[in-house]
Amino acid sequence: MPESHQRHKTKHHHQPGSTSGKKVRTTAGTFMAAMGGIFGLSFGYFTSDRSILWSVVGTVVGILVGYFFGHNIDKSTRKNK
């Protein structure tokens, strides 16, 4: 008489404590640089009667100001921890 086949139990290959991927932490400097770039682009575009040159200048200045502002936020939060 043939024997009935039983399914094998599922094997989990996940090891406890291991993560599937690294978490990427966005810093305030990166976020504020992006927001500063967007603000600088729009400010330069609308205040200079839609000039491309001043839009680029506004974008660069906005990115730099936003980056340094965000970098200072990061430093102050690290210092308080």
One-letter identity of residue 74: D
**What is the C-alpha R_g of the chain?**
26
- Least confident piece of the model among 21-25, 27-31, 42-46: 21-25
| Local confidence band at 70 (pLDDT 50, 70, 90 cut-offs) | very high
Q: Give me 63's structure tokens.
A: 């990115």
**Whole-number Å distance between alpha carbons of 68 and 70:** 5
Asked if 65 and 78 touch (Cβ cutoff 8 Å), the reply is: no
The pLDDT of residue 52 is: 94
